Amino acid sequence: METIIYTEDSLAVPARLIRQGELIAFPTETVYGLGADATNEAAVNKVYQAKGRPSDNPLIVHIKEITDLDPFVDNLSEKAQSLMAKFWPGPLTLIFEIKKNSLPSVATGGLSTAAFRMPNNKMALALIEQAGVPIVGPSANTSGKPSPTTAQHVYHDLAGKIAGILDDGPTDIGLESTVVDMTTEIPVILRPGAVTVEALASVVGEVNLDQHLISENEAPKAPGMKYQHYSPNARVLLIDWQKNNWQDALDWSAKKGISCGILASREIIQSFKADVVGNYELSITQDVQTASQRLFAGLRELDGQKQPIAVIFAQTYPEEGAGLAYMNRLKKAANQEYFQRDD
């Protein structure tokens, strides 16, 4: 299959392909999604096949208007309506109980619930409108690898496996949406994102945070909950922001003869003279929001060096505010592993 890059001027073609049951990657403000007609079981199955994604991992349904929920969800709570009014369109996904058989079970991971989002991206909303159907949109990458934040990242992973990619340049946020379970009295954050705990609480009061790690044998209720996820081929080791033991890590890799790369702020990178294969600036200063936007691109670039990198040393931040989402993704990319000198 030839994978064609489309622009906004040719939007009618990918919209038609979605209606015909094909797969089209599309931009959002978070990451690029792999789009298919959410109501078409065969099309949704193609998503799992293209990504190599476990079929128990539910997908997020992307909509253009709140009324697009009507065929699937009854009786939206006041809290849900308040969150949608505040954050939609935007990087917030809400999980609801759905009407029986309103979506194919393959789209929901066999659950009685489904996740919905209204993306804050002009081209994404236009694609949904012109296709005339809700669109599932998991990250448009090989399952388990860093999520794509450019059309080129998508092409690298999925060329020949999907019909096309709608190109809108780099994404603005760079991390997937916040996922909130609205099926309980107190909303539960299942995946942190750009809409923070504090922002949610300011609208609906108390919210709970569930960051327990899903084992390979446990069915997740939302995407991105697996123990290891977003991982490059290289081993990722976290440098504790409190210990700040960068020099120990670089000395250790040199002594062991291990090729390494640095994923950190310019301030950190320029503070060391080390023999590294490559480095990638997450930000100029210690800016976690910029670091979040550049995290997946950095993992991908360091993983793609001509001279292979065995270990990526990565900067960490306190797990609060915007740092919560950043660390959620980075810790999974590193399989929760911090650098510890073993000699």
- Residue 30 labelled as part of a binding site: yes
The Cα 284–Cα 290 span in angstroms is: 9
Determine the angle formed by the axes of helices 78-87 and 197-204, rounding to 10 degrees: 130
- Residue 113 labelled as part of a binding site: yes
H or E stretch covering 262: strand 260-264
- Residue 217 labelled as part of a binding site: no
- Residue 259 labelled as part of a binding site: no
CA nearest to 177, candidates 238, 224, 126: 224
- Residue 191 labelled as part of a binding site: yes
- Residue 147 labelled as part of a binding site: yes
The amino acid at residue 171 is T
The Cα 46–Cα 42 span in angstroms is: 6
- Residue 341 labelled as part of a binding site: no
Task: DSSP for 197-228, please give it.
Answer: HHHHHHHHS--EE--PPBPTTS--SSTT-BSS
Determine the angle formed by the axes of helices 12-19 and 122-131, rounding to 10 degrees: 50
Q: How many CA atoms lie within 13 A of 338 on its CB side?
A: 12
Q: How many CA atoms lie within 13 A of 149 on its CB side?
A: 21
Q: Is 26 within 8 Å of 33 (Cβ atoms)?
A: yes
The Cα 21–Cα 36 span in angstroms is: 7
Q: Kindly give, in sequence order, each residue whose CB lies less than 8 Å from that of residue 293, ignoring residues fewer than 6 positions away.
A: 149, 171, 172, 173, 174, 175
Alpha helix stretches (DSSP H) within the chain? 12-19, 41-51, 78-87, 105-108, 122-131, 151-158, 197-204, 246-256, 266-269, 288-303, 322-333
Task: DSSP for 70-127, please give it.
Answer: TTT-----HHHHHHHHHH-SSSEEEEEE--TTSS-HHHHTT-SEEEEE--S-HHHHHH
- Residue 285 labelled as part of a binding site: no
- Residue 177 labelled as part of a binding site: yes
| Strand 113-117 with 33-37, pairing | unpaired
Residues belonging to the binding site are 30, 53, 57, 62, 113, 117, 139, 147, 177, 191, 230
Residues belonging to the binding site for L-threonine are 30, 62, 117, 177
Residues belonging to the binding site for ATP are 53, 57, 113, 139, 147, 191, 230
